Amino acid sequence: MTAVRFAVGSTRWGTQKGGGPRPYVATGDQLIALVLVFLAGAGLVVARDAIVPVRFSYDGMKIERLALRLLSVPGDDSYQQVGDLYRALGLAGHRTAAGLLGFTLFGLLVLAVAWMLRWQVTWTWLAGATITLLLGAVYLGTYSKDVLVVPITAFAVVASRFWRLLVVIAAAVLYAWVFRSYWYAVAGLTALYWFIGRTRPRHPVVALVVAAVLAVCVVGLLYSAVTGSSVSSLRMNMNADRVNSPDATSMIPSYLPNGNTVMQLVNLALAVVVLLVPIPMLALGGAYYSSLFLVITVLWLTFLKANLHLWEASTSRAARETTGPQWHPGLLAFPLAFVTTQAMFEPDYGSALRHLTPVLPCMLLAVGLYLRDRREQAFRSRPGSDVVTWRCLP
């Protein structure tokens, strides 16, 4: 028996052997779900002061005061430049409007990812999109440096070709030059991982692990050579004024004694692991840190599993014959470069999640492609379930 699937415009329905609906959420349901979550996120932005704990707004409050010219930060021009940007946009003193602008840009990118997937998504993917949008409301729904990462992520989402990769690298270098200097490392590592993805090594896991370890060592040693300080000094300096702070409970420490350069590099490599699976957060106790551990762990493990599956499947005949969006190394390279850089410079898990939030749409696309591929494979594996697809566009 041949399974026939129909698509008329944006509405999809069909049959498969043994009956039952197609394994995707109806387009109308997707739109309703995403719109409702977006509205909930917008409501969270509007009612931020009453709902969101103040510790999530410290950076935003600082930028707001800079935009209003009520504060100066000698030696840190990046915050001042962000404040000046909001002032130039006429958003100084308009926290809610600034938050809605940032959240809307982020939400449109999430919606664009769903569109790129041709709305072939599951409820599991929608759950991930819901968490992503809520994180966007919390971390981007105020004055923020991280809103400026959203356009870079948008470029990374479509970085399937070399010239598009160059756009991502150029945007990352510009962001590093103006706002955060450690983004030079993100730019370089994105190129490294992208080329590894294009070469399709026989053992991709080994290749990525070796590349990540070497990258951490090289960047750490370069930092030490340029600054004349120890490899571990940057994280130690960033955490120096946070040790006795109530907001430093999720601080990322050195797990081994920093007795020499080798041990300092080992600590950086360990930091990559604990950013992917933040087991130390469980020791902090409480529902908040346990939930944060669960979200971060599931997010990264699912993302890595999705990319490895799609990477190996991308050379198959079925992949070449698949219509619609397909996996490309940019979906792996940009988030992986970002977390590798975080391992060297990020002071705490809360900051790590905040800085990662604008990168999440890139990860959502990879996971969406993975879930689509698994469902299609399961569909094809059923005896007699050859697929004939009819598309009738209005």
Beta bridge partners of 389: 5
Whole-number pLDDT of residue 152? 95
Same domain, 54 and 107: yes
Domain, as residue range, for 30 = 1-144
Same domain, 246 and 119: no
Q: Is 152 domain-assigned?
A: no
Whole-number pLDDT of residue 388? 39
Same domain, 304 and 225: yes
Q: Is 393 domain-assigned?
A: no
Token duo for residue 132 = 């992503």
Same domain, 261 and 315: yes
Q: Is 31 domain-assigned?
A: yes
Same domain, 199 and 342: yes
Nearest Cα neighbor of 335 from 369, 361, 296 is 361
CA 243 to chain centre: 28
Last residue of one domain, picked from the residues 144, 179, 197 = 144
Last residue of one domain, picked from the residues 84, 112, 144 = 144
pTM above 0.85, yes or no: no
CA distances from 53 to 50, 62, 64, 124 (A): 8, 16, 17, 28
The whole-angstrom separation of Cα 346 and Cα 276 is: 13
Same domain, 119 and 256: no
Question: DSSP assignment of 259-272, as one string?
Answer: -SHHHHHHHHHHHH
Q: Is 83 domain-assigned?
A: yes
Scan for tokens 């190996």, then name that residue.
312
Same domain, 73 and 182: no
Q: Is 158 domain-assigned?
A: no
Distance spanning both ends of the chain, measured CA to CA? 29
Same domain, 253 and 364: yes
Q: Is 243 domain-assigned?
A: yes
Strand-by-strand arrangement of the 387-392 sheet: 11-14, 3-8, 387-392
- Which ranges in 71-203 belong to alpha helices (H)? 77-88, 95-116, 123-140, 150-157, 162-178, 183-199
Q: Is 150 domain-assigned?
A: no
Same domain, 115 and 229: no
The whole-angstrom separation of Cα 12 and Cα 123 is: 15
Q: Is 209 domain-assigned?
A: yes
Nearest Cα neighbor of 186 from 292, 21, 341 is 341
Domain count, the chain: 2
Same domain, 93 and 221: no
Name the amino acid, one letter, at 104. T
Same domain, 116 and 182: no
Nearest Cα neighbor of 114 from 200, 199, 25 is 25
Exposed, middle or buried: residue 54 (CB in 10 Å: 0-12, 13-18, 19+)?
A: exposed
Q: Which residues of the chain have pLDDT under 70?
A: 1-28, 73-76, 232-249, 314-325, 377-394
Same domain, 179 and 241: yes
Whole-number pLDDT of residue 349? 82
Last residue of one domain, picked from the residues 110, 144, 178 = 144
Strands 387-392 and 11-14: unpaired
SS3 (DSSP) at 90: coil
